[in-house]
Structure formats: structure tokens, C-alpha cells
Structure 1
Amino acid sequence: MSGASTATPYQFRILQVDDVTEDYVKWFSDVDIVRYSDNQYRTFSLVGQKEYVKSCLDNPDMDLYGIFDNGRHIGNITLSGFNSPHNRAEITYVVGAKDYWGKGVAAWAISEIVKLAKQHYKLHRLYAGCAEPNTGSRKVLEKNGFQLEGKRINHLFYNGEWMNQLDFGLNLS
């Protein structure tokens, strides 16, 4: 599915194994990119990431979308758990191309996934979580109508310190 918009040059579509490059793998060794992510505890390789993308393609309850700018892979957004009887799904996202930080990519991708969640997946609700110090993530969720629904105290251990997790939700119907 294309999420092309007239307001931006960005596109998104289901990520394919052939989209996995060394540049993509390098995102996950950058401390700034994984600062608020469990990915800081994982080891990444080209082969491993291709296997991960294939596993996502084979998973009937998860869709991994790549975010692209004129063919350049700049980020990912996932929708997972959408086959739940509760008619809800979790979103996670990363803008791995740091030269795109602060340019509205995550906000755009979330707005597109919200549209898909309503129109294609026919979901009732979306949810997402982020570390409390991750103000960028909080802002893009709020910009897209997500409401802060809770705080899990000392729930995440990132960069050698305990952090609260903020839980956000968005009703779609």
C-alpha cells in the first residue's frame, strides 16, 4: 500500500527483504537512534535483518512498513497485534536516517498508519508507548490525536538508568 501524500515527498509500503541494506542495519548501532529502544540490547547484521523482515512478512498479525523518500529508506513503522479479538493494534516506529529528524517524518508516518488502521484494517483502537524522556515521540503521538493514558514507573532500563514508560492510545471509531 502506498501512503504517498501531496504535502510531502514521503512514501511507505510493506518493507521487503530486498529493502534491507547496510545503511539500514547501521541505524541500530547508532546510540542516538536506539537511545529509547530495546534495540540497544540487540546485535544486528545484514543477514539477521533480512531474516527479521522475512519473519514480519510471514507473520499474519504484524505489518512492517518502510518509510521512503524518493526511494531512500529512511524509517520504519509497524502495526502489530491487529488480529486481536479486541480489534486493536500497537504501533512502533523509527526514523533511522538522522538527517530526516525534525522534518515531520514520524508525524507523517503515524498519520498515514492511523488512516490505514481505520480504512484497511478496520481497527477500533491503536496504542503506543515511549520512554518519558523521549519528547519527540511524545509530540508526534499527541500531534496525531493519541492521548496519554498512563505512566509505568521505572518500567524501562535504557542507557544505564530506569525510565518511566508513557502509554498512549487513540480510539478510531
Structure 2
Amino acid sequence: MFTGTKVRLRPLEPDDAPSLWRWGADPEVVRWMNAGYPESLAQLTRRHLERDTNSYATTLLGIETLGDDKLVGAIRLRDAQPELGMAQLDLWIGEKDQWGRGLASDAMRVMCRYGFEEMRLHRIELWVVADNVAARRVYEKVGFVQEGVARDGFRRGGKWHDMVMMGLLEGELR
């Protein structure tokens, strides 16, 4: 487990599936995500149990609040390439009553520190919908900078949105 000032990151457990399913079924939570097709709790539980174990290529961890050990989200480093020293980062805070409390920033710092110090990454990047102002603020707060834009890269509610690519280099984490 990896601990920050507000959160602990830990491997996901089978009994976490109901929380993941509930978050995925909430339109407000998945508003800016490619949530895929709807699935039942049984389907998600099966997929969750059958997923590959954490490895250098993909590390998926649950985000728990310190003190009450409540699962509030998930964070993942994926597509890690040791030859290039880089990986993609995904973040999801599913418990809406925890939004705006600094948990996302803390989880990002902990995961990026793990990526740079333990995985020996040099670069971590992510993609975010340009209109997702709250997420962009979190990413900038921890040191990510905008590096590019994919015009009309995301479609939601019949409208196209630009996607912003952001990057963080080793030594830039705040």
C-alpha cells in the first residue's frame, strides 16, 4: 500500500466490484469518461476477477481515504514501456461526496511518485476532455502541463469535445 496525506492506494479486492459498478452507472461520475457499454454487476464482477494481475505494464489501485478506509476511487498507470520510460495515467473518484476534498491531487502525487521512484519512469502522460475544468485543475496542481490537443476527440451527448494531452516529467511533481 502507498500512503499520501489524505489517501492510501491499495490493490482492488473482489468485494470492491459493487462500488465500481455503482460509480460506472452514475451519469455524473462518468460524464467525461469513455465508460463503455452498460454491464450488470455480475458482468463487472466477473471481468474484475479475471483481469490481469498488476505488473509493470498496468498497475490498477483503489483509492481509500485515510482514517475510515473508505474506497472512493481508482487510479491506474497503464501502457508502461520500460524502453521509453513512460506510462499513461487514469484517475477516477467515484464517490461524489468526496469531490473537491483534495483526494484526487493526493492520489495523483502518490501514484506519480511510485511511477518515477519505483518504476523508474521518466514521463507520465494523460488525456482529459478540455471541458473537464475540475480535472484539469487537479492535474495542473500536481505539475502536469498541456502538451497538445486532439480536436473533437471525445463525443458525449451528441456533441464533440476536444481532448487535451498533458504530461509530467520526472522532477516536475509538485
Question: TM-score of the superposition, structure 1-length normalised?
Answer: 0.89
The match for 1:124 is 122
Q: CA deviation at 1:15?
A: 1.3
Q: Distance in 1 between matches of 2:54 and 2:42?
A: 18
The match for 2:8 is 11
Number of positions where the alignment pairs a residue of Structure 1 with one of Structure 2:
168
Residue type at the aligned position of 2:31: R
State whether residues 82 and 121 of structure 2, in contact with CA within 8 Å, keep that contact through their aligned partners in structure 1.
no
Query: CA 1:126–1:100 in structure 2 vs 1: closer, same or farther (change >3 Å)?
Result: same
Residue type at the aligned position of 1:148: Q
**Partner-residue secondary structure (3-state), 2:108:** helix
Q: Deviations over 1:100-134 (max 9, x none)?
A: 01111111110111110011111111000110110
**Which sections of structure 2, spanning at least 5 residues, go unmatched?**
none
Q: Does 1:50 align with 2:45?
A: yes
Q: CA deviation at 1:89?
A: 0.5
Q: CA deviation at 1:169?
A: 0.5
The match for 1:170 is 168
**Which sections of structure 1, spanning at least 5 residues, go unmatched?**
none
**Superposition misfits of 4+ residues, deviation over 4 angstroms:** none
Q: Distance in 2 between matches of 1:166 and 1:67?
A: 24
Q: Distance in 1 between matches of 2:96 and 2:13?
A: 22
Q: Deviations over 1:76-99 (max 9, x none)?
A: 001101134211100011100000
Residue type at the aligned position of 2:61: Y
State whether residues 54 and 60 of structure 2, in contact with CA within 8 Å, keep that contact through their aligned partners in structure 1.
no
CA RMSD of aligned residues (A): 1.7
Higher mean alpha-carbon deviation, 74-83 vs 12-21, is at 12-21
Residue type at the aligned position of 2:49: K
**Equivalences for 1:66-81 in 2 at 5 Å?**
66-69=62-65, 70-81=68-79
The match for 1:142 is 140
Question: TM-score of the superposition, structure 2-length normalised?
Answer: 0.89
